[in-house]
Chain A
């Protein structure tokens, strides 16, 4: 019996991360073996020039799992929508 492929995840981008990636969102089947937010960011950097540029400084990228802030050590399993953005500048 083979395992069902993981359902696609919606990746969402904001501000200069969105501009560098070149799209506001995308639906992606994540490769196996990505456990944490940090793993996911490292994978993003490997996806091409635009992504390498957007995720160049991994430490300043903020991530939300299903619309909740998540540290880079958080597990991504089960998240349906994962957002990437710069530090917030509202208020």
Chain B
């Protein structure tokens, strides 16, 4: 039976080593862990922060559905996805995906799949806050992200 995924939507930062330890604690069957962390860029010094709006309820449910697909497709021994919302400063973490498996390939592929689907299906929207305090534009969706998700 596949493990249950851990899905969290939160405004506060997350702790990558602690989240990794949570997946491996008390077991010796895991052979590899892939952890991807997405960070807020300053876009060449333009950005003061990114504002992340989300759809409460649906965000958890949709990431949960993506995780179920990953768990059904790869022989994973653990899967965690955490996505932050609210105001996030350059250099801070935004999103974390951790996949654990007996052999590396499943963990690499599942983490990559999770990120591609998170970007195109999880109900989050980024808005730029520019240096000086003015609100900039909503970030536009990128065709490359749709193309990346279509690979799977």
Residues of A whose CB lies within 8 Å of any CB of B are: 12, 14-16, 64, 67-69, 83, 85-91
Contact = CB atoms under 8 A, between A and B. Distances in A.
B89 interface: no
Chain B's interface: helix, strand, loop or mixed, by majority?
mixed
Contact of B124 (A64, A67, A90): A90
B55 to A, nearest CB: 6
Contact of B58 (A67, A87, A89, A91): A67
B125 interface: yes
Interface of B: 38, 52-55, 57-58, 61-62, 83, 94-95, 115, 118-127, 138-141, 145
26 contacts: A12-B55, A14-B53, A15-B53, A15-B125, A16-B138, A64-B123, A67-B57, A69-B62, A69-B121, A87-B120, A87-B141, A88-B125, A89-B124, A89-B125, A89-B139, A89-B140, A90-B52, A90-B83, A90-B123, A90-B124, A90-B125, A91-B83, A91-B95, A91-B118, A91-B119, A91-B145
A91 B124 contact: yes
B138 A91 contact: no
A12 B83 CA distance: 21
A89 B58 CA distance: 15
A84 to B, nearest CB: 11
A85 B121 CA distance: 12
A64 B58 contact: yes
- Interface-centre pick from A86, A90, A91 (highest chain B CB count, 10 A): A90
Contact of B141 (A64, A68, A83, A89): A89
Contacts of A12: 55
Contacts of A88: 119-125, 141
Contacts of A68: 58, 61-62
